Amino acid sequence: MEESRAAAVQELRARFAAGQTRPAEWRAKQLRGVLRMATEMEAEICDALHADVGKPKTEAHVHEISLVKSSCLFALKNLKKWMKPKKVHARLMTFPSTARITKEPLGVVLVISAWNYPLLLSLDPVIGAIAAGNAVVLKPSEVAPATSSLLAELLPRYVDSACIKVVEGGVSETTALLEHKWDKIFYTGNSKVGRIVMAAAVKHLTPVVLELGGKCPVIVDSNVNLHVTAKRIAAGKWGCNNGQACIAPDFIITTESFAPKLLEALKKVLEKFYGKDPLLSADLSRVVTPNHFNRLLDMMDDEMVSDKIVFGGQRDEQKLKIAPTIFLDVPLDSAMMKEEIFGPLLPIITVDKIHESFGLINSMTKPLAAYLFTRDSKLQKQFESTISAGGMLLNDTSVHLTNPHLPFGGVGESGTGSYHGRFTFDAFSHGKAVLHRGFGGEAKARYPPYSSAKLKIMKGVLVGKLGAMIQAILGFPRGK
């Protein structure tokens, strides 16, 4: 097994070294291949996502297939622009010269993806890695076996399988892959394994992108459109894989006086979305495995919180389904408030004044996403300047990730590095500094034998007013 893995990596190295992945035409062809796969295989993909996590067809299309297609189209549209060297200002010190940043592929990269959006989280980084001209190994999650084996079967049919490979497997296969030298590792998953990935990368000084999770807070002020707020919270929580999403609202903070109104609005919306018996709804994903199901049951049946349920609580062990469940005023030292929930449980924490929520959030590890619902512009500004989070969204949840012009990634324990749109291309590229001179423009002052007069000239050129003036005359920006 290890031999075939090693042979695969070796082949990728050889293909990359031969320059096979570099031409724009090769990159565009592969991107069109991924696009074609996502288009022609929609039904098979939907079936696999349903088999893995009971994902409703609409969510499979909207949150996975369409986003993959849109990433391909965006990369295809912008590929030439992204690949073009970026001219930057020259400096007097090197006059005459031109300067540019040339994007070059990193080499052979490893993408390790997670089970909850097993298509999107696999292909979105791969799309950027291809666009940037790399050879790629994709290791999908074994916790979503149907999608993993579908990707292993389909990708080689649609892309250049000598340069883009899928290696399936779980912990031991991933551990073995991590032993190899990569030019970048892009990992999506929990922070415990993120640490393992980072430790493995250190051995070869391999740069990493870690797309991790955390507890995403939602602050709800009283100055809101209540019905819209409730719908958008519910859509971001239960409408995203039944809460099994990295940017799903993890807990709500609102004021004690507003909590009853918000709770009533959420109940109404949930009944409308999923009916009187949500366990029967086909629009709610199931929990992915019995282990994950039991972890969530332990969390909701914990005696610190079990009497705090104000809505839901139903579960079906056979179908691995848990209904949307809301808790009010759970203790901050309960497991529910200490661990990432990653499921359909939603605690509401109350504070006296809404501003107190900032301190509470900042006392926790930095989240992947933070949400605020309010019409109060002062509170909005304070939120933006006070809360550190991978990303933030005002008056909605989760949908910020659909904008390819925004980087998507964490900060602190919610991750390092970012991707989406051009940011994925950049994550898999090296921005090479290129300074280009001719043989003119010789300055004697630069060369030994040194003298105080030469030193004066050099200082003037580098930091003096005269140097700055000459730079300005020559069209160089001052002070840069």
Catalytic residues: 211, 246
**Cis amide leading into 85 (omega within 30):** no
- C-alpha 59/C-alpha 398 separation (Å) is 13
Least separation in angstroms between residue 11's CB and ligand NAD is 22
CA distances (Å), 87 to each of 22, 310, 376, 431, in order? Answer: 21, 59, 42, 12
Give the 3-state secondary structure percentages of the chain, helix then strand then coil, rounded to 5: 50, 20, 35
- CB 244, CB 216: distance < 8 Å: no
Type of residue at 22: R
Q: Which is nearer to ligand NAD, 230 or 246 (CB)?
A: 246
Q: Which is nearer to ligand NAD, 163 or 288 (CB)?
A: 288
Least separation in angstroms between residue 116's CB and ligand NAD is 5
Q: At 105, give phi and psi (nearest 5°).
A: -65, 150
Least separation in angstroms between residue 101's CB and ligand NAD is 27
- CB 132, CB 106: distance < 8 Å: yes
- CB 306, CB 284: distance < 8 Å: no
- C-alpha 411/C-alpha 184 separation (Å) is 19
Least separation in angstroms between residue 113's CB and ligand NAD is 6
Q: Which is nearer to ligand NAD, 247 or 354 (CB)?
A: 247
Least separation in angstroms between residue 200's CB and ligand NAD is 8
- CB 379, CB 372: distance < 8 Å: yes
Least separation in angstroms between residue 121's CB and ligand NAD is 6
Q: Which is nearer to ligand NAD, 221 or 340 (CB)?
A: 340
Q: Which is nearer to ligand NAD, 170 or 431 (CB)?
A: 170
- C-alpha 249/C-alpha 242 separation (Å) is 11
Question: Cβ atoms within 10 A of the Cβ of 452, count?
Answer: 7
**Cis amide leading into 125 (omega within 30):** no
Type of residue at 66: S
Q: Which is nearer to ligand NAD, 128 or 189 (CB)?
A: 189
**Beta strands, E only, 144-194:** 164-166, 184-188
Binding site for ligand NAD (CB under 6 A): 112-116, 121, 139, 141-143, 170-171, 174-175, 188-190, 193, 196, 211-213, 246, 340, 342, 368, 410, 415
Residue with nearest beta carbon to ligand NAD: 213
Least separation in angstroms between residue 381's CB and ligand NAD is 26
131 CB-side CA count, 13 A: 34
Q: Which is nearer to ligand NAD, 262 or 337 (CB)?
A: 337
Least separation in angstroms between residue 397's CB and ligand NAD is 14
Residue found by looking up tokens 């203790």 in the block: 331
Q: Which is nearer to ligand NAD, 114 or 224 (CB)?
A: 114
Is residue 188 classed exposed, middle or buried when 0-12, 13-18 and 19+ CB atoms within 10 A define those classes? buried
User: Which pair of structure tokens corresponds to residue 293?
Assistant: 């199901």
- Burial track 459-470 (b if 16+ CB lie within 10 A, e otherwise): ebbeeeeebbee
- Would you mind telling me the total number of residues written for the chain in this entry? 480
Reduced to 3 states (helix: H, G, I; strand: E, B; else coil), residue 143 is coil
Residue found by looking up tokens 């501003």 in the block: 355
